[in-house]
Structure 1
Amino acid sequence: MSRLYVILDVFTDRPLAGNPLAVVLDASGLDSEGMLAIAREFNLSETVFLLPAEDEARKARLRIFTPQTELPFAGHPTVGTAVLLGLMDAVAGKGRAARFEIEEQVGVIACDVEATGKRSGRATFRLTKLPAPVAPPPSPAAVAAALGLDETDIGFDAHVPSRFDAGNAFTLIPVKSLAALGRARPQPGAWAAGVADRGAYLYTRETGDPALAFRARMLRADASEDPATGSAAASFAGALTAFEAPAEGTHAFRIGQGFEMKRPSVIELGLEISNGTLAGATIGGAAVVAAEGTLF
């Protein structure tokens, strides 16, 4: 049977930027192997397959695949799919703003969505799993070797390398400058000793843009790079709480990613601090429909 799909660019308000996402609109009847084969055909970082929700009060159930495996959770698929569902509601006359829940393997995710144009929107979702530290944290020397940097490039203020898991685990590496961020290159012989988990999420406070709180890159051992990584930003909430010691209340951080790839993206990370601990967190951003088509 033929199946409709949509490609969105996520964490951007314009096409051909951000992180591309494929969404197969009706995945009923597809098994895991079929979904994986389609994800390989698209060959994007993630492909979403929409299914009816197990609880009819919820909007949909998502299965998320890379070209290699299924993921329990990912940020840009969640934001992009939420925007698409909101746009479909707007076309159906159900209003331009909505709040609904979607189901992923990691749990039920609450989303707030607004259609900002015929093919554009914004979405924010609450983390179902707050970031937890993963031991042991890597040493500055090990991560520097893994990235082809000097040990003096690693760390700033109170920030040191760490590992956090908010659905997917990442090695989080603070670097002193934009120059160091741009110089980083995976070193295969030293990678395993310095970087574990799904990859290395590098970040710096030096942004070159006062509208951004941080600039970031997400690197993998095979030298591939992600233009926008919502699940890594979710893990980053743990590092921010640990090293920034934010005051009581809510805090918003805009994180720029993908600039080195010519796919500029902006991820909006929200923290809720209560009694000195992270009580809640949100990931949000814009998305635009870039293409539509049919799988045969």
Structure 2
Amino acid sequence: MPRPRARTFAQVDVFAETPYFGNPVAVVLDGDDISETDMVRVARWMNLSETTFVVTPTSDKADYGLRIFTPGGEVPFAGHPTLGSAHAWLKAGGSPSATTTLIQECGLGLVEVRCSDAGLSFRAPELLREGPLEPAHLDRIAQGLCITRDQIIAHQWVDNGPGWAAVLLGSAAEVLAVEPDERRMNELMLGIVGAHPEGAPLQFEVRAFGAPAGVPEDPATGSLIAGLAQWLIGSGVAPREYRVGQGSRLGRAGVLTVCAEGEQIWVGGNSVTCIRGTIDL
């Protein structure tokens, strides 16, 4: 067994306007030559929503490759690890081939990350699955959320890799009031969304539940927000630019921004490095 060596490491708080109130991601910045078995082991030990490993890309169009692991295993794409890893890579001296955009290669393919004075944002990937949810699946969701079917205003598949389904409730207050049955929720990858009153600083409130991540509820979820944006903007429920709150039921205060430019949708937010150093792997 090869001897461990010190590798550059950072832990980044993503979608946090105040540090330690967003969603942390652990980033191993020198991920080449780490076995998949060890990546899984480290992700479980970190016990965060995601742990990432920056690796040499296979595409000459990419600035770096990224492998993303939850405590339950590898996922092809996730939003907050994308932005947190880009933030850590840039802070560690990474230099994108383009001035204002870097290209990340992950299991889903190539993902654009835009760098601006307002921070980092990623281009929402194409949906792998869309359209209304099946009646049986909708019944499972209502049972898991402990709500009635008529409380669900609209529903949609918004899967861009992790497998997201989504339901729209009557208001942000209804979203925050949900007390799910965790046993039933373990079978779902689900986002719930509701609108705040007009004039509020945030336009929507979101909660994310997903067993594959190994955590009952995620505090700030870029992939879900990206899928929701494609649905909500496309159906006229949301404006082309808005802000989303997530995580307050968990004692967090995540804020995510959505901006539609032509056919492209960008999801962003603030990132800050909270821990930096090395990890022996």
What's the offset of the Cα at 1:165?
Answer: 1.4
The corresponding residue for 1:174 is: 168
CA–CA distance in 1 between the matches of 2:172 and 2:209? 15
Structure 1 contact 132–238 (Cα < 8 Å) conserved: no
> 1:69-80 maps to which residues of 2 (within 5 A)?
69-80=73-84
The corresponding residue for 1:183 is: 177
Q: TM-score, structure 2 length as denominator?
A: 0.85
CA–CA distance in 1 between the matches of 2:71 and 2:183? 25
| Counterpart selection for 1:165 from 159, 167, 177 | 159
CA–CA distance in 2 between the matches of 1:209 and 1:241? 19
> 1:224-263 maps to which residues of 2 (within 5 A)?
224-244=216-236, 251-263=240-252
What's the offset of the Cα at 1:255?
Answer: 0.9
The corresponding residue for 1:53 is: 57
Residues 200 and 130 from structure 1, CA distance in 2 versus in 1: closer, same or farther, beyond 3 angstroms? closer
The corresponding residue for 1:147 is: 145
How many residue pairs match? The answer is 271
- The SS at the match of 2:235 is helix
| Counterpart selection for 2:267 from 280, 283, 289 | 283
CA–CA distance in 1 between the matches of 2:87 and 2:62? 15
Structure 1 residues not aligned, in runs of 5+: 274-278
Structure 2 contact 6–279 (Cα < 8 Å) conserved: yes
CA–CA distance in 2 between the matches of 1:162 and 1:58? 32
The corresponding residue for 1:201 is: 191
Residues 245 and 214 from structure 1, CA distance in 2 versus in 1: closer, same or farther, beyond 3 angstroms? closer
Amino acid at match of 1:42: M
**Residue deviations 1:243-268, cap 9 Å, x none?**
32679xxx212111011111111111
What's the offset of the Cα at 1:135?
Answer: 5.6
CA–CA distance in 1 between the matches of 2:12 and 2:29? 13
- The SS at the match of 1:41 is helix
Instruction: After the TM superposition, list the runs of 4 or more consecutive aligned residues in structure 1 that deviate by more than 6 angstroms.
Output: none
Structure 2 contact 175–194 (Cα < 8 Å) conserved: yes
1:86 aligns with 2:90: yes
1:218 aligns with 2:200: no
CA–CA distance in 2 between the matches of 1:133 and 1:99? 28
What's the offset of the Cα at 1:206?
Answer: 2.1
1:123 aligns with 2:125: no
- The SS at the match of 1:78 is helix
The corresponding residue for 1:101 is: 103
What's the offset of the Cα at 1:211?
Answer: 2.3
**Residue deviations 1:164-205, cap 9 Å, x none?**
21222212111113332123233256558xx74xx2211111
Structure 1 contact 75–230 (Cα < 8 Å) conserved: yes
What's the offset of the Cα at 1:54?
Answer: 2.3
CA–CA distance in 2 between the matches of 1:213 and 1:51? 37
Structure 2 contact 133–155 (Cα < 8 Å) conserved: no
Of the structure 1 ranges 263-272 and 137-146, higher mean CA displacement relative to structure 2 is found in: 137-146
CA–CA distance in 1 between the matches of 2:114 and 2:107? 19
The corresponding residue for 1:276 is: none
Residues 246 and 207 from structure 1, CA distance in 2 versus in 1: closer, same or farther, beyond 3 angstroms? closer
Amino acid at match of 1:126: R
Amino acid at match of 1:282: W
What's the offset of the Cα at 1:56?
Answer: 4.7
Residues 182 and 136 from structure 1, CA distance in 2 versus in 1: closer, same or farther, beyond 3 angstroms? closer
Structure 1 contact 201–219 (Cα < 8 Å) conserved: yes
**Residue deviations 1:48-79, cap 9 Å, x none?**
10112224553210000011110100000111
Residues 281 and 83 from structure 1, CA distance in 2 versus in 1: closer, same or farther, beyond 3 angstroms? same
RMSD, aligned α-carbons: 2.8
What's the offset of the Cα at 1:31?
Answer: 1.3
Q: TM-score, structure 1 length as denominator?
A: 0.81
